[in-house]
């Protein structure tokens, strides 16, 4: 069943209120952007409830629109959280998961990212995040990695498309550090990492990345992320399809030992880059 991707009510209320005040003054978003140190695109996202405004933004808009504190009073209700609202439910489920199975096609899953790699990923985002925002989300991501060594342990498998580990996110030094991190994590008894080689011409992952998560009450759910949100699959028929597909993907990828050897060859320069 689809995950509800609606922005939080508080953000929608703030967005509608700030838009109402702007339009009452017959002011366009571009004109408002000319009065405050924030872009027209950011104003649009905030007004749609898609982006939590920072206190500085709220202060600037409140003053520019002559709102006399009507917007400022909402600051505690719209304060930015560590994770986007649409990801909160998944983060909570992942922290308590009994098992997690991940197929990655673009970037390494957050559980596998070093701090430098995570920072480079967030710096790549568009619209851009400022330095304070990046540090918040990086530290939040690192906190999720407690799952890797949690007791009782979570059973975790990853299948990574070869380009995921070939792409040098953050540059050579960050990339090499990430490869060493993968080798280290692969030694954990509850973690298995496999590489899907580019040489395989056909495989079951054509529909893109996915995650299968076993909850603490032994239900398995599917999770799929997109550009602007995500959704859960909880219908048994849908979960069965994803489970079969993931099993096939694992069987088509290099096994854990061969995958580890490939990563080691990348580090020594013996593998093709």
Q: Which CATH number does the domain housing residue 44 bear?
A: 1.10.260.40
Domains contained in the chain, number? 2
CA distance 126 to 182: 27
Answer yes or no: are the C-beta atoms of 19 and 45 closer than 8 Å: no
CA distance 32 to 43: 8
pLDDT (tens, 9 = 90+) of the chain, 273 residues, equals: 344 455 667 888 899 999 999 999 999 999 999 999 888 888 998 898 877 888 888 999 999 999 999 998 888 777 655 445 546 678 888 999 999 999 999 999 999 999 999 999 999 988 888 888 888 889 889 989 999 999 999 999 999 999 999 999 999 999 999 999 999 999 999 999 999 999 998 889 988 999 999 998 899 999 988 766 678 888 889 999 999 999 999 999 999 999 999 999 999 988 665
What is the extent of the structural domain holding 206? 85-268
Q: Are residues 129 and 16 in the same domain?
A: no
Q: Are residues 160 and 119 in the same domain?
A: yes
Q: Are residues 118 and 33 in the same domain?
A: no
pLDDT in tens, 215-233: 988 999 999 887 666 788 8
Q: Are residues 50 and 125 in the same domain?
A: no
């Amino acid at each position: 069943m689809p995950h509800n991707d609606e922005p939080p009510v508080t953000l929608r209320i703030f967005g509608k209120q700030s838009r109402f005040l702007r339009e009452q003054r017959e002011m366009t978003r571009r004109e408002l952007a000319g009065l405050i140190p924030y872009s027209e695109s950011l104003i649009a996202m905030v007004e749609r409830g898609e982006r939590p405004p920072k206190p500085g933004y709220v202060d600037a808009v409140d003053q520019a629109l002559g709102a006399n504190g009507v917007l400022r009073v909402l600051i505690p209700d719209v304060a930015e959280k560590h994770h986007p609202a649409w990801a909160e439910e998944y983060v909570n489920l992942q922290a308590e998961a009994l098992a997690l199975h991940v197929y990655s096609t673009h970037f390494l899953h957050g559980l596998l990212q070093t701090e430098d790699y995570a920072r480079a990923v967030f710096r790549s985002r568009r619209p851009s995040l400022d330095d304070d925002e990046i540090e918040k989300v990086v530290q939040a991501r690192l906190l999720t990695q407690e799952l890797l060594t949690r007791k009782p342990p979570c059973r975790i498998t990853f299948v990574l498309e070869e380009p995921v580990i070939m792409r040098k996110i953050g540059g050579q030094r960050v990339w090499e550090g990430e490869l060493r991190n993968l080798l280290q994590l692969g030694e954990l008894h509850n973690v298995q990492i496999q590489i899907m080689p580019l040489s395989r011409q056909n495989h079951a992952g054509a529909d893109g990345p996915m995650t299968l998560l076993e909850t603490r009450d032994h239900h398995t759910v599917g999770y799929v992320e997109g550009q602007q949100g995500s959704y859960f699959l909880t219908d048994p028929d849908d979960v069965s399809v994803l489970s079969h597909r993931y099993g096939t993907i694992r069987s088509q990828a290099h096994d854990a030992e061969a995958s580890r050897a490939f990563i080691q060859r990348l580090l020594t320069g013996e593998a093709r880059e």
